[in-house]
Amino acid sequence: MPRGDGRLSHDLDPQRPGPQDACGVFGVWAPGEEVANLTYFGLYALQHRGQEAAGIAVSDGSGVVVYKDLGLVAQVFDEPTLASLRGHVAIGHARYSTTGGSTWENAQPTLRSTSAGTTIALAHNGNLVNTADLQREVTDRGIANDGSTNDTSLVTMLLASRPDLSVEAAALEVLPQLRGAFSFVFMDESTLYAARDPHGVRPLVLGRLERGWVVASETAALDIVGASVVREVEPGELIAIDEDGLRSTRFAVPEPKGCLFEYVYIARPDATIAGRNVHSARVQIGRQLAKEHPVDADLVIPVPESGTPAAIGYAEESGITYGQGLMKNPYVGRTFIQPSQTLRQLGIRLKLNPLRENVRGKRIVVVDDSIVRGNTQRAIVRMLREAGALEVHVRISSPPVRWPCFYGIDFATRAELLANGLDNDGIRRSIGADTLGYVSLSGLVAATEQPKTRLCRACFDGEYPIELPAGNLIGKHVLEGVGRRVAASAPDAPEHTTSALVATPGGASVNRP
């Protein structure tokens, strides 16, 4: 599926997608501000992290309203809708599904009311690996399912199942039970909460407004709303923000394992992770790539946009001229119209086209961020040769992706990963390149300026820092069968609609036209 912000994803065929981003979350506590508008712009800055669905929850102190639907942020929200979402605290979510299918019921934020009259809305970036265990606890507690089949809803249900506790106290009970990657923003009628798993796999940052606080998946979302960066939410930390200020509590001992792939592809280049600017890291990766895999060539070109910083670094280090060889259609975005087989055969030309005058008669180095199935690179190599390139040398700014991610990135299955079944020369032949070079894992790690021990490298080396469950109790659709059965028997299960969800203290959630 094409990326909603116009940047290219790695797919040629919508039925065979490449690595899809983790979700984006945003939260704001700011009395006197238009918190729904701030959340909208924050999500807009995070659109690259998820293009399936978007939602915003808002509270004015008397009740929580959630408005969500399938689609991009700009498709789901308009000015009249945002104007109706009034309050002082809000959270938002831009979704790409990693647990549960792409349905309205699985859009976030999730919403749940407690019998004590408190309403909880929650948005999640990441993926839990003990989802089946959590589902069993929900069942044992006799909690009715709302038709959703994602891990986020399970967490919301468990938080709401403790009406004798405050939301903060309930979170300190529930959070230590969770296994996997999670960066949460959640709220009740008066308070904004943020929490990050003990390994800090997915990013989460805290920012300051003149009259409030902001939390977001990336620093770029703080920039767009005029918030100053305070610090990262620490691994194993729960933050609560209300009229009494900001409180911080540790619910677990931190064991940092930040996602290495954030530096390669997921995060915006203008983001900062663990004190390292992502663009600078990617340029350095390109420099390292040139040292490790030099070649005699005439022109270095990127696969736009994700390959651009590394291509700049490669050109600077190698002394080879940097230029443009591929033109991206600036209007590529998410579409609900699937191309016919005839159009699919055109492949990448729907998104990229060669600048023939630039590449004809030249030896080309083409820099991309990763190879998953190889579809994109195969098509690009063929396209450049047809445009008259004498040689095509492919350079990749990450090591071979040999293992799937269970912590919030939806890669292909291991059987589909090209590097899982072929050595480097086999991959080179498969994509048709003259030469192929991947940056080394040690070179990639060095570019992040983080110790190897503080990074999750599982997709590259198979070393999963969070233990995975045995058997088949993991995966995107682990709850689908259970979810469908429960949804079929639930009389109040929401329909696929563009309505808002409204919850008032002590009341059930209802659709608002």
Q: How far apart are CA 82 and CA 500, in angstroms?
A: 11
Q: What does R_g of the chain's alpha carbons equal in angstroms?
A: 23
Q: Annotation-wise, does 423 bind a ligand?
A: no
Q: Is 405 annotated as a binding residue?
A: yes
Closest alpha carbon to 398 in 415, 377, 379, 421: 377
Report the 3 state secondary structure along 362-402: CEEEEEECCCCCCHHHHHHHHHHHHCCCCEEEEEECCCCCC
Ligand-binding site membership of 459 (annotated): yes
197 is in an annotated binding site: no
Please indicate if the annotation marks 430 as binding a ligand.
no
Say if residue 368 carries a ligand binding annotation: yes
Annotated ligand binding at 456? The verdict is: yes
Alpha helices in 73-123 (DSSP H): 73-76, 79-84
> So which residues are the catalytic ones?
23
Q: Which residue has the tokens 């079944």?
A: 421
- Burial class, 164, CB count within 10 angstroms (exposed 0-12 / middle 13-18 / buried 19+): exposed
Q: Residue 256: what residue type?
A: P
Give CA separation, 122 vs 108, 110, 152, in Å: 7, 5, 7
Give residues with Cβ within 8 angstroms of 204, minimum separation 6: 25, 125, 183, 185, 194, 196, 215, 216, 217, 232, 233
Dihedral of the alpha carbons of 24, 241, 172, 154, in degrees to the nearest 10 = -40
Give CA–CA dist 470/473, Å, rounded: 7
Question: What is the total residue count of the chain?
Answer: 513
Do 480 and 153 meet the contact criterion of CB atoms below 8 Å apart?
no
Name the packing angle between helices 278-292 and 308-318 (round to 10°).
50
The DSSP symbol for 48 reads G
Q: Which amino acid is at 365?
A: V
Binding-site sequence positions for Mg(2+) = 306, 368-369
Binding-site sequence positions = 259, 306, 368-369, 405, 456, 459
